[in-house]
Amino acid sequence: MKRHRNVKIVATLGPASNDYEMIRALHEAGADVFRLNMSHGDHAEIKVRHDIIRQVEKDLNSPIGILADLQGPKLRVGTFANGEEELVEGASFRLDLHDGEGDVNRVKLPHKEIFDALRPGARLLVNDGKIALRVKDCGADFADCEVIVGGTISNRKGVNVPDVTLPLAALSEKDRKDLEFVCELGVDWLALSFVQRPEDVAEARALAKGRAAILSKIEKPNAIKSFDAILEASDGVMVARGDLGVELPVQNVPPIQKQLVRKCRAAAKPVIVATQMLESMIDSPMPTRAEVSDVATAIYEGADAIMLSAESAAGSYPIEAVSTMNNVAGEVESDPTYTDIMAASRNAEGKTVADGIVSAAREIAETTDIKAICCFSQSGTTALLVSRERPRVPIIAMTSVEGTARRLCLSWGTNCVITGEVNRFKDAVIAAVRAAIAEGLATNKDMVVVTAGVPFNTAGTTNILRVAPCEERLIFASDHD
């Protein structure tokens, strides 16, 4: 399904988007990748959604990516005798490991690892930062705190600890079970929550065993400090602004978002900007002007994908939310300023033959009358490098590996086409010409650029480029000529 935009749209599925008709409508409206949130729904529900996506993919003959988002360790307070209490600024409040329901003076925090890591002066943020506590004294099973920002605290509210590195595994026991389940199911991407260090990514990769690509969610300040190493260990990144905005001053999030997007692009790894992009559309058919500007900013920054969460999973207007993103993307990408920004932010440093090939492909396409760049990529590496160039002409990513086509649905500008296996460059050129015409991107009077790696079926061998005319003799040539 040819999109008239380059940035990709990720839509989360949930109660509002649970059946075949809705999921198909969301894909037709613009969703390129569907997110399965493992925090909600049991395995049976997740399997039903997965199977529906694959049926839509088959019916529309259009590769669709599936991203399973693992819950990660959830830190929560216990319960209160009255259900909730009002904490007043300046008051004392204790968190401890003792059983018994909480009151205005204390509550259980059933996470010993937090107490092991806490130090006096550290902050604890409760309920998405609406309540802030500062540790005055602490031990192996308690933390005596001063209320810095007061408010209503209630049962099982989440806790963030921004000032210390918690000795927590990124994968809980639930995550391990979920990871194995979704990998066996056949998802394309695994989103890893609350990554703090590259070792967290390595653990998930070892468990995935190549069955899914690993996408690190950047939600913690410690992940920012270790970002270069985390990026190197990951296949992609999600800038999860919700928790970042809780654990960091909110004014820090926009520049961090911009920096992370640029680093991901330089590394040729897809990056998603997520959280509260069109939040008002949970209840309204129209977004706010500020939300539209937020979506546009992420696109201008060069993000590979933008994501809807509750807007498509639980909102009243999921199709309208996807359509809004699609329309904003189309408008931004038609702005000459966008093209200028993409060119100005291009990383000009070529380090390998592959870098030089894709850079040349982009320059040839932009300075002559070339209609598309066609890249053959079994592993996806060539397509990712071409995508990093942000060319002004369409990218046709061709592969005989269905999983590669699905994973590339997350990458900027890639129109994924599943082809038969190719063993000769001549066959690649013929297949590229046919695909360009079939996708409506060229006619038999046009030309395309074809890139590939020879020998074929070997990852990381991008080493050949050809400008190919879309002539009838190529369109109708026998694969055995």
35 an active-site residue? yes
pLDDT, tens digit (0-9, with 9 covering 90-100), for 162-211 = 888 888 887 999 999 999 999 999 999 999 998 989 999 999 999 999 99
Q: Can you give the CATH number for the domain in which 148 is found? A: 2.40.33.10
Mean pLDDT by 10 residues, the chain (481 residues): 90 96 98 96 96 97 96 91 96 96 96 92 92 96 96 93 83 95 98 93 97 96 94 97 88 96 96 96 97 98 97 97 98 96 82 90 94 92 94 94 96 93 85 91 93 77 89 56 43
Residue 374 lies in a domain: yes
Q: Can you give the CATH number for the domain in which 299 is found? A: 3.20.20.60
Residue 328 lies in a domain: yes
Given the residues 94, 197, 265, 275, the one annotated as active site = 275
Q: Can you give the CATH number for the domain in which 433 is found? A: 3.40.1380.20
The per-residue pLDDT for 481 is 43
The per-residue pLDDT for 1 is 65
47 an active-site residue? no
User: How many separate domains does the chain show?
Assistant: 3
Residue 342 lies in a domain: no
Are residues 252 and 393 part of one domain? Answer: no
Are residues 88 and 57 part of one domain? Answer: no
Residue 44 lies in a domain: yes
C-alpha closest to that of 154 among 178, 129, 132, 126? 126
76 an active-site residue? yes
Are residues 183 and 251 part of one domain? Answer: yes
Residue ranges making up the domain that contains 131? 84-160
The per-residue pLDDT for 168 is 80
- Angle 345-349-350 from CA coordinates, rounded to 5°: 130
Q: What is the mean pLDDT of the chain?
A: 93
Given the residues 35, 106, 197, 220, the one annotated as active site = 35
Among candidate residues 104, 139, 160, the one where a domain is terminated:
160
d(CA 451, CA 161): 48
pLDDT, tens digit (0-9, with 9 covering 90-100), for 332-347 = 999 999 999 999 998 7
Residue 245 lies in a domain: yes
Among candidate residues 120, 142, 160, the one where a domain is terminated:
160
Among candidate residues 334, 368, 392, the one where a domain is terminated:
334
Are residues 119 and 178 part of one domain? Answer: no
Strands (E), 275-365: 305-308
pLDDT, tens digit (0-9, with 9 covering 90-100), for 45-59 = 999 999 999 999 999
275 an active-site residue? yes
pLDDT, tens digit (0-9, with 9 covering 90-100), for 133-151 = 999 999 999 999 999 999 9
Are residues 178 and 140 part of one domain? Answer: no
Residue 339 lies in a domain: no
Please spell the DSSP secondary structure of 93-118, one letter per residue. Answer: EEEES--S-B-SSEEE---HHHHHH-
What is the DSSP code (8-state) at residue 88? P
Given the residues 54, 74, 76, 346, the one annotated as active site = 76
